Structure 1
Amino acid sequence: MVSPRLLFAAPASGSGKTTIVCGLLRALKNRGKGVRAFKCGPDFIDPLFHETVVGVPSGTLDLFFSDRDQLRRLFCRHAAGAEISLIEGVMGYYDGLGAATDRASSYEVAKALDAPVVLVVDSRGQSLSALAALIGFLRFRPDSRIRGVIFNRMSEGVYGALKPEVEKLGLRSLGYVPRAPEVMVESRHLGLVTPGEIEDLGQKLDVLAALLERTVDVDGLLKLAAEAPALIVPPAPPLPILPRTRIAVARDEAFCFLYRDNLDLLEDCSAALTFFSPLHDRALPEETQGLLLPGGYPELYAAALSANEPMRRSIREAIQGGLPCLAECGGFLYLHRELEDMEGRFHPMAGVLDARAYRTSRLGRFGYITLSAREDTAFLPVGESVRGHEFHYFESEACGDALHAQKPTGNRGWDCGHSRGNLLMGFPHLYYPSNPKLIERFLRACAKEV
C-alpha cells in the first residue's frame, strides 16, 4: 500500500509535538488535503485533539499492544484514501518500555512503518546547543530514520543562522516555530485538557496553522512524506461470525477515553454501537444487550453525574439484572457507591460496587501491563491474558483481585479488577485487539450464547 507518512518525534515530552502536529493537520486540511492522524503510545487525549482538527478519529500505534504486522494493518486500515498521514510520537524518540530499552518506542514504530521522521527540537534558551542535541539523536542509532528537523521556540534570526549547519548534516531544515503562548494547550492531572474545554479552539488552530504556513516548510514536509516506501501488509486472522448485538457505549465529557481500535473490533464482530451520555441522558438506550463504560474524567463531573439519579439507577439495575458490562478506570469509578470530586466532596454514584473511590496526590500504579486471570471470569479465563495500561490519581477502597497485572519490565505486579457474573471492571484500560477472544466471549454473553 502506498501511503505518504511522517512521524514527528522529539527528544522529550513537552517539546511541542502535539501543538505542531495539530497545527500542521489544520494547515493541510485548510489546503484541502485528505489527512489522517495517529498517536504512538497509549495516550487518549492527544488523539482527541487530532480528531477535533481532522474530523475523524485518530489511530493508536503501539508496539506493546500490537506486533509489527498488526501495527501495519491498523495503520493501513485507517490511512486508506489519505493523501498524507501524520504520526505523533510519544515521550522521547528512543524512550521505550523501560529505562534502558527502546522497545515499543516511537523509534521502533518508525522502523515498523518505514516512516521518515521529523525531529521537533525545543530550542528555548539555546542556539548552537540545539544543533548538538540534534546530532546526538541522529547518531544514537545508525538507522535513526531522522530525515528532517523543526526547531520549536526559536527566533527567525537564530534559525537563519543554524539552517546551513543543519543541511551540512544531510538533514532537511524544515522550519521553526517562534514562541506563541496564545496557541499553547494547558495541562491537568492526567495530561492535556480535552478539546471541548478550550475556548475558541477552532480559532486558535487557524491562528496556529497560519503561523506554521509562514515559518515551516509545509511543501517540504509533503515531499518528504511522499518518499515513504509502499508497505507490505499481511492479511488479518479471520474473526468469528457472531450474532448482531446492540452495545451501549458511554461517551460524553466525563467518558471520552476510547480506543478507536476497540470500537472497530466490536463492529468487526457484528456489534451495533449506540453511544449514550451518563451525564445528559436519563436511561440506557432501548434494547441494550451489552454495556461499555470507558475511562475519562468522571471526577470533574461527579456532581452532575450524581444528580442524574435516573441514569445511575438505570445502569445499576441493568448490571444487577445480568447485563454484560466492561468498565475501566473512569467507568469503574462511576460504578462505586461514592466518588470524591476535585474539591474533596463525595457524591453518590451508580452503587454497583459497595465502596468509595477517592483522590490521591500521586500516581500509584501506572504504565503498560499484561493482565491475566487469577480465576475464571466471564470473558477472560485462567491461562489467557490481555494487554492494557493504568494511569490514575484516584484510588478505590476495593480495587479487586480477579486479575493480576504484570509490568513488562522488572518484577512489579499487582492484583486488580472485579469479576461478577457478566461484569468485568477495574482500573486498567484494556486494548481489545491484544486478545480478540475476550470480546468474542463478551459479545456471546450479550447475545446470550453462553
Structure 2
Amino acid sequence: MDLEKRPAAPPAEQAAQHPAAPAPQFAPRQPPAQAEGCLVVAIRLPVRIVALVVVVPVRLVWDALVVAGRFLLDTALRPVGRALAWLGRTLVLLPLGALWTYVLAPLGRGLAAAGLFLGKCLFVWPWVGLWRYVVVPVGLGLGWLLHLLLVVPAVALYRYVLTPVGHAIAWVARGIGAGGKALGRGVRWLLRMLFVVPAVALYRYVLTPVGHAIAWVARGIGAGLMWLGAGIVWLLRGIGFVVGTLLRWIFVVPAVAVWRWVLAPIGRGIAVVAREIGDALGHAWRVAGHVSRAVWRFFGQLLRWIFVSPARWVYRSVLTPAGHAVRDLVWRPAADAARAVGRATRQALATARQSVRQARADVRRALFGGARERTPVERVPQARREPDSGRGRTLDPGTTVLTKD
C-alpha cells in the first residue's frame, strides 16, 4: 500500500516507459510541483493509518447496505410498486375513465345543451323580441315626436331670434372695446410716466453705484475669509497626519505583524492538516472499497461453495438423471399406453356409431320402403333458347309474346 504521493515522471522517462504511445502535439502546462516539508510527510502517515482503520468498517457496512437495498428494490419494492400501479390502473383509472367517457361526459353535454336551449328560451329570445318589436319602434316614434316638438322649434328660435340678437350685442361690444382700448392706452402712458421712469432712474443712478460699492467690500471680506479658511485647513491636515501616524503605529502595524507572523502561519498549518485529513479520508475510502470488494467476494465465494455448488451438483448429478429415468421408464410408457387406449376406444366408438347408423337405415327401409328414384330434368335444346346478345332481355317492336318463337 503506497501511503505517499509519487511525483509525476518526467516526459523522457514516460516516453521510455511507453515507446508506442504517440507524443501529444499540445501538452497542457503542468503547474510547478510544490516542495513538501518534513512536517507534511510526518503528519500524512499516521493520519492515513487512522483514517484507514476508521473508514474500512464504515465502507464494509455501506457496501452491505447498498447491496441489500438494491436486492430489496429489485425483488420486493419494484414488483410491489408495479402490482400496485396495475391494481390502481385497473380498479381506479379504467373505471373512472369509462365512467367519465361513457356516462358523465355525455350527460354533461346533454345537460349543457338543454341548459343552453332553456336559457335561450327564457332569457335571450324574449328580450330580443321585446327589443326588436317593441322598444325599437317605440323609440323611433318618440324620437320623431321629440324632433318635431323640441328640435324644430329650437332651431327656428336660434336662427330667427338668437342669431340677430347676438349680432347686435357683438356690434355694441366691439364699440365698447374700441373705447376701452383708447382709455387703456392713456392710463398705461400715465402709469409709465408716474412709476416706471422714476424707478428706472433710481435703479440706474442710485442703486447700481451703491451695489457696486457693497460688492467690492464683500469681495475683500471674502478674500480674507478664504485665506483664514486655508490656514485652518492646513492646521487640520497637520493634526490629522500626526493622529493618523500615531494610530497606524499603535493599532495597524501591531495587527499586521500579528496577522503576518502569528495567524497566517497557524492558518497555513491548519490548512495543511485539514488537506491531509481530507486526502487521507479519500485514500482510505478508495482502499476500503478494494478491501470491501475482496471481503464480500470471499463471502460470496464461500456461500457459493457451501450452498450453490452442492445444490447445483445435486441437481445435475442426482435429480436430473432421476427425472430422466422417471420420464423414460414411467411417464413415456404410461403416455403411450394411454394414447393407444384412447385410439382403440375411438375406433370402437366409430364402429359402433356406423353399426347403429346402418341398423337405423335398415329399419327405415323395412317400414317405409326405399327412396324413390329421381327423374332427371330434360334439358331444353340449344336452338330453343334465346340468342345470346349484349343487350338486355327485351322484345323487338314487331314481336309479341305469342309470336316470340
TM bucket, shorter chain: under 0.3
Of Structure 1 and Structure 2, the greater helix share is in: 2
> Which of 1 and 2 has higher RCO (CA within 8 Å, sep 6+)?
2
Of Structure 1 and Structure 2, the greater strand share is in: 1
Q: TM-score, normalised by structure 1?
A: 0.13
| Larger Rg computed on CA atoms | 2
